[in-house]
Amino acid sequence: MLPLPLDSGSITTIGDLRVWADENKLPGTVEAIPKNNLLTIPMNYDLYPETEAICLTGKTQVNWIGQLAASETRYMLHIDGKHKIHHGKWMLVSIGTHVLIYKEDRKKITHSYRPLVYMFCKQQESSESSKLICDALKFVSIQFFGHTLKPGVVGMDHSDGFMNGVESAFDDAGIGCVSVFLCTVSDVQQTFDAPYRVTYHSFRTRIESRIATDIITCYPHLKRKAAQGEYLSKQHTFFETFLKIIDAVHLAHSYNMMIFFIGVAGKLIDKYLPREPKLRSFWNSYMCHPWDCWCMGLHLHTPLNIANNQPIESWHKYGTQRPALKCAQCFRYAHRYALDT
């Protein structure tokens, strides 16, 4: 829970909220952090002039951050915003990791999300606000454990703001690829010359690096929208082949295999693009750099790496049973005037 004042009139501006945040910030040691309380992370908000937000964490979350800080291997983080847990224009954003849990009732292993830092933000998924929550996570790691975090992969939905923020916060972040000459396979080269591709003059090859923070996006989200006919009508003669192409790209065992499949797929899809603008939008959004990052063969240097943001989305879905909703309820009632300004 949050130690918020019950008198909504005590906080009427973002300045008042920042004062409250300073009065309820994390102490200097892990031992001094009270249990079952979310406290604010003492960030220098002057470095984020376009962002109105506060970042929070708790003792359990700090201990989880400590486990990641001590890890000798890379690990996966997830970042996402929950649009239905908000008050006014303020939205809950969280960043965390996931673990494997065996569900006895379901008789299966599931990926379970573990939130590390929460952020209530008026700018939602902007590049600067995304950098703020990543920097807050790094601040906690340095403050309590002496060194920064080095994730192997950060999973997210298709959001340029999230990608830009992550790449700004983690200096070694990126897609991990380099431009070289066009592939010499004639049928693939012909595909890359299609006028509807964003990147049709370069062919990229994967650099497997164990020191980079990579980006990966959510395949189930993409597949669900495609299966619902968002990019191509279900009645279209190419629809079933289109879904098989998405599956094939996702199941590629390596980056180079994924690029080869995309090239072959381009030859099949090309003739439909002039008449299907949504299909063209799909191609330019998910089959071209930098968002062609949703196959299983990517980022093999990171254990538990999945092209799937469902763990954090499931956690947000059931946020009514989580501390996050308690935060939202406190903001709704105790900070009504501040959040409406």
- Listed in sequence order, the residues at least 6 apart from 323 whose beta carbon sits closer than 8 Å to its beta carbon are 1, 38, 58
User: What 8-state DSSP symbol labels residue 297?
Assistant: T
Local mean pLDDT, 10-residue blocks, the chain (341 residues): 48 78 93 92 94 94 96 93 65 91 85 92 89 97 94 94 93 47 34 35 39 86 96 97 96 92 94 95 94 91 88 72 51 41 33
pLDDT of residue 326: 53
Q: How many CA atoms lie within 13 A of 233 on its CB side?
A: 7
> Looking at residue 91, what is its pLDDT?
83
* pLDDT on residue 341: 33
- Phi-psi group of 155: left, alpha or beta (phi > 0 → left; psi -120 to 50 → alpha; rest → beta): beta
Task: List all residues 6 or more positions away from 233 whose beta carbon is below 8 Å from its beta carbon.
Answer: 239
Question: 0.75 exceeded by the pTM?
Answer: yes
- For 236, counting Cβ atoms within 10 Å of its Cβ (0-12 exposed, 13-18 middle, 19+ buried), the class is middle
Among residues 338, 340, 335, 341, the alpha carbon closest in space to that of 8 is found at 335
Residue 339 has a pLDDT of: 37
Angle between helices 255-269 and 239-250 (to 10 degrees): 170
Collect all residues with Cβ–Cβ distance below 8 Å to 246 and sequence separation of at least 6: 222, 223, 226
